[in-house]
Structures are given as structure tokens and as C-alpha cells.
Amino acid sequence: MAYNLKEVVKKKIRLTSGHRMCAGCGAPVVSRMVLRAIKPEDEAVITSATGCMEVSTCIYPYTSWKNCSFIHSAFENSAATCSGVEAAYNAFKRQGKLEDKEYKFIAFGGDGGTYDIGLQSLSGAMERGHDMVYVCYDNGAYMNTGTQRSSATPHFADTTTAPAGKVSQGKNQPRKDLTEIMVQHGLSYVAQTAMIGNYKDLYEKAEKAIYTKGPSFINALSPCPRGWGYPPEKLIEIQKLAVDTCFWPLYEVENGVYKITYKPAKKLPVTEFLKVQKRFKHLFKPGNEELLEQIQKEVDKKWNYLLMMEEITNK
């Protein structure tokens, strides 16, 4: 189906405006566009781990979730909850206890509830083969509880539990590559995406994930203005820099075949992405040039790996 933004925005709204997410936050934009990819005639069950999006969209007695069933799960088990509902749905269908409607099952979690605390339940749900989609809105730290480092936090980023100062230069470890970990689960569809242009990449990958039989995983870049330190109005601009520097490559792996869905006409140095964020400002002090070079090498290594895998798997 050809992507048409005018037609997409006419589709059923499942996450309404008026929630209490911060201005300039990427998570609600990601979630709203993912849910737009569901066909209007299909029903949806959404589960969400505890985190920014959960606490800001369903403050009793109000909810921002519409035209779907929403379940708030604990920090660690959004995937387990979603897989359990999917299993119950299939059981009821076999018993003839459900009307003839198509249901889609989507789990959301931030990087803290996905890369770290929820990794076990995510891996289990994917391994068992449930027909569901897990969407990680990756903002690179435990933003809801005070910007503590997570395994998704970039190398040398300044966080409250890995502060930049006299003793260290922020987080001492490179970020975990969860997208590749999900690829190694042998899923039919895995994608990494961001909100660039007119959301075409995000929407098309969401649609493909939702309507691919079996478990699918989407890792979506979701900037946080408070944790990253950028003006709220720069949300889309900062994502474009992440993509054009190849800090956050856009690609998908379908049945083991890699496809890079966006290749910058001119690959920018990673410093263009880093310098607009307060969490990296210490890296631009004299004497830290080596740290910037290290990050660039890590970015180049990943990009070259993806180029190689695209070539190998498409032969």
C-alpha cells in the first residue's frame, strides 16, 4: 500500500492529544503514528510498561487511549502481558467465544523497560512466536525517574547515575545494540526507525510489523528534551541529525534479509548530532577530542556492518 500522509491522518485516532507528555517528547509521536498503521476495521489491544508514556497518558480517572483496549503492566512485563492476551484471544477464537473481528496486539516500552528490566519477558515473548509487535520508544535513559543511565544510554553521555565530571566522562560503556539482539531471535520482521520527513519510514515499518504474522520488533528513536538537553521545538531536527550522521541508522531485517531504508546523501560527522545536546557538552572541552573520535569509530563500525550485511543477505 502506497504511503499517503493525507490519508493516514484521516485514520482512526487511538492515542488522543491532551496527554501530559513533555513538549518536544518523541514517545507520543511514535506511538500515535504506529497506531495509525492499524486498519480502521481492526481492533487493538495495547500494553505499556510503567514509564513516561504510561504515567502521562492514563492518570486516573482520565485516559488518552481511544478506540483500543489499554493495559498498564509493570515495568518488566509489557511483552509478557501482551503475549498472554494474544494467547487468550486465540483460545477464545478456537472455542467460538469471540465475534469475528481481527485483533492486533502491540506492546510499548521505553528503553529502561525494554533493554534492561523487561528484556527477559521480551525475549521470551519473541521466542515463543506470539503474533504481536513490541515497540521500544528509545530515549536513551530512565527518563521517568530522573535520567539514570540505561544500557541504551550512548557512550559518554552525562546522566544522573553516570555523571560527567572529574572522575568520569559520563557513561563508560557503549550502548547495547538491542535491534541486532532481536534479529538474532530469528524474527520475521525487525526494524529500526525514527521520525524524519513526513513519518513515512516509521509508518511503513509499523504497518509491516503489525501485519507480518508472528512476533515483530520495532526500535524507534524517541528523543527526550529534558534528558538530552535540546529545545522542544527541535524534536524533528535532532532526529534528522541522528539519522544523517548514522548514529541511528534506519534499516529493517525481513526474514534475515537486511535493507537500509535511508542512506544519507552526505554522511555527517557524529559531532553534528552530539553538539546540540547538553548531555554531551563536556565532550567538546579541550582534551576530549579522543572521546569524540571513539564515538565516531563506533558509529562508522556499525554503519559499515549494516552495509556489509545488506550486500551479503541480498545476494
Tell me the C-alpha distance between 38 and 198, whole Å: 18
Q: What is the pLDDT of residue 172?
A: 96
pLDDT given for residue 310 in this prediction: 98
Which pLDDT score is estimated for 60?
A: 87
* Grid cell of 136 as nine digits: 521500544
What pLDDT score does 31 carry?
A: 96
User: What fold, for 5-313?
Assistant: Rossmann fold (3.40.50)
CA 265 to chain centre: 24
pLDDT digits (tens, 9 = 90+) for 127-165: 999 999 999 999 999 999 999 999 999 999 999 999 999
Please give the residue that has the higher pLDDT: either 67 or 2. 67
Report helix, strand or coil for 154. Answer: coil
pLDDT at 18 over 90: no
Mean pLDDT of 83-100: 93
pLDDT tens-place string over residues 274-310: 999 999 999 999 999 999 999 999 999 999 999 999 9
Put residue 103 in one of left, alpha, beta given phi > 0 → left and psi -120 to 50 → alpha: beta
Give the DSSP H/E element, type plus range, for residue 237.
helix 235-244
Percent of the chain with pLDDT over 90: 91
**In the predicted model, is pLDDT for residue 91 greater than 70?**
yes
Q: pLDDT per residue over 220-260, tens digit each?
A: 999 999 999 999 999 999 999 999 999 999 999 999 999 99
Strand arrangement, sheet containing 103-110: 69-72, 43-48, 103-110, 133-138, 216-221, 189-193, 251-254, 257-260
Residue type (1 letter), 37: A
The per-residue pLDDT for 1 is: 58
pLDDT band at 198 (very low <50, low <70, confident <90, very high): confident
Instruction: Using the predicted structure, report yes or no on whether residue 2 has a pLDDT greater than 80.
Output: no
What pLDDT is attached to residue 9? 82
DSSP calls for 3-50: --HHHHTTSPPSB-S---PPTT-SHHHHHHHHHHTS-TTSEEEEEE-S
Q: To the nearest whole number, what is the mean pLDDT of the chain?
A: 96
Q: What pTM does this model have?
A: 0.96
Question: How far apart, in whole angstroms, are the C-alpha atoms of residue 245 and residue 268?
Answer: 4
Is residue 266 very low, low, confident or very high in pLDDT (cuts 50, 70, 90)? very high
